[in-house]
Structure 1
């Protein structure tokens, strides 16, 4: 872990790509804390599983009576063939697609989990230093509790990602991601059917492959999305914009107007699938959200620890 020195910063969107849920920018003050230098790796997660016997969300069969509680009223029960231990795996398309239809590049794959990231027949042998994926928020919380750490708040995450820079778009500054040298693991080319692989990867990459930011943190842009502790609310910034915001913990409950029946947690940092044409997730202010029981092939996490606790 590395020490993130506390301070104040303007939290929220910079530039023309800013989304409504990133605005308005507002002043936030953060106390010092420790943060994992990299995303939690397969090797680290394996130690946790071996020590505790923990079974991740993706390895458990969904229980319909629980699942329907967070779905719109009247949702039809899926076929039993779909209510199996599974997770979402990226599938590259053969040509352009409608970006509103996620099912065109995501596939519900039985047997896909952190040990088999692309489904049956895949494994993590030789990928011990890659970020662990198919991790739900619940899984990340379980690991943090075991490790004596916690998930970062959304404000802590953004402050750390900025690396001491002021009002910059990315952890490295303002240079567009595809200009100059490779700065992060992202989708280069035409999403989701053609990846130029200028950064050397089509899926995730070993942690610390690319340069660190000003705080010594790796992969704060790209590679895998990272869970934060906060509930997601689309209008949260509007409610705290003019308040004295010190160590904010996020809203009391979730609200996503696109899917109001499903509570969601915040994800940050983008992934190997992010592209300016579709999702500029590697911007330090970019917000993403998902239900706590959801894991995907590009979802992982890193931990933080309060400064008052010994490493």
Structure 2
């Protein structure tokens, strides 16, 4: 199964994208229109990705040897295949320094999500992780799909709720109910209460779907989009007739991290937050939330889902 068999049909329409209430990169709110499309109801799973690898022999970025030319000055012994793995800390830490809970693990990949010695036992229905942008795009191409644009992803994530903070409404926990696989408790990144039942990823579909029948558009894993990163959204159109249709992100030249010019790796937008989003640290399990991710870097909390063109059914009026 490629996901198309279970894709949800999303009628086109106009919506307000972004948020002026949360993080600066989500602003300003602005109206956009997207045409209808179909999107997977859940993120691509390990079982689905394994079928792709079996059919094609594909080798992910995390499984390939590193090129010394891409990492000037790095010790040769460090240039081995691997990926970034979340590692809980032994106690409270300064949350300004992500390196305290992220570790480069040689041998970590989608097959070995925690590094050598780990495997996919009991993880077939969990979202595939350690996926670089190239890997996600290759899978999408194989099944005749594409990765969603940021606008498509956010429109689908909102589930028809105009302006709501979360995919299910404005309350983080309606009636005290946990609605997504996010970090449990205030003690990130060292102690989870275990309320969700999962320290890392959960099987897709473990939490309630949004209004469009889509699961895990909040939490579980961040998801790749097609769009190059920009630090802000464009301003809202001055007139309703000027609302952009099927907008795309910025230019590749604007997507680089100015703090690391020596690496010069372009970045794409990822959406949705993950199981590491904690209210006390990273309130990003919301439709408007967005983060930049270097295209060559997979991590243990990044996955993806695919989109297809709409069928020939009429769209809802905007």
Q: TM-score, normalised to structure 2's length? A: 0.90
Contact 1:14–1:167 (CA under 8 A) maintained in structure 2: no
By how many angstroms is 1:258 displaced?
4.6
The correspondence for 2:201, drawn from 192, 201, 204, is 204
Contact persistence 1:2–1:35 (CA under 8 A): yes
Of residues 3, 16, 31 in structure 1, which corresponds to 2:9? 3
Residues 31, 236 of structure 2: 8 Å contact kept: no
Question: Hey, what does 2:47 align to over in structure 1?
Answer: 43
Equivalence map 1:141-160=2 (5 Å): 141-160=137-156
Q: CA deviation at 1:104?
A: 0.5
The CA deviation at 1:262 is 3.2
- The residue number in structure 2 matching 1:73 is none
**1:6 and 1:33 in contact (8 A); partners too:** yes
Determine the structure 1 residue equivalent to 2:181: 185
Partner residue, 1:28: 32
| Partner Cα separation in structure 1 for residue 221 and residue 210 of structure 2 | 16
Q: CA RMSD in A?
A: 1.8
User: How far off its partner does 1:308 sit?
Assistant: 5.1
Aligned to 2:128: 132
- 2:267 pairs, out of 264, 268, 282, with 264
CA contact (8 A) 1:137 1:292 kept: yes
User: Residue 116 of structure 1: which of 109, 112, 118 is its match?
Assistant: 112
When the two structures are aligned, how many residues end up with a matched partner? 299
Tell me how far 1:238 sits from its aligned partner: 3.0
Contact 2:83 2:109 in 1 (8 A): yes
The answer to whether structure 1 residue 90 and structure 2 residue 75 are counterparts is no
> CA–CA distance in 2 between the matches of 1:177 and 1:232?
30
Equivalence map 1:158-307=2 (5 Å): 158-177=154-173, 180-189=176-185, 190-235=187-232, 237-238=233-234, 242=238, 244-253=243-252, 254-255=254-255, 256-259=257-260, 261-307=264-310
Match 2:100 to one of 99, 104, 111: 104
Deviation at residue 267 of structure 1 after TM alignment? 0.3
Among 54, 60, 63, the alignment partner of 1:59 is 63
CA gap of 1:240–1:53, structure 2 versus 1, over 3 A, is: farther
Using the TM superposition, give the Cα deviation of residue 154 of structure 1 relative to its aligned residue in structure 2, in angstroms.
0.2
Structure 2 CA distance, aligned partners of 1:173 and 1:268? 18
Q: Secondary structure at the match of 1:246?
A: coil
Go from structure 1 to structure 2 and tell me whether the alpha carbon gap of 1:201 and 1:178 turns closer, same or farther (over 3 Å shift).
farther
Give the Cα–Cα distance (whole angstroms) in 1 for the partners of residues 283 and 129 of structure 2: 20
Aligned 8 A contact 2:29 2:235 in 1: no
Which TM-score applies when normalising by structure 1? 0.92
Match of 2:18 among 2, 6, 12: 12
Distance 2:248 2:78 in 1: 36
Offset at residue 96 of structure 1 (A)? 1.4
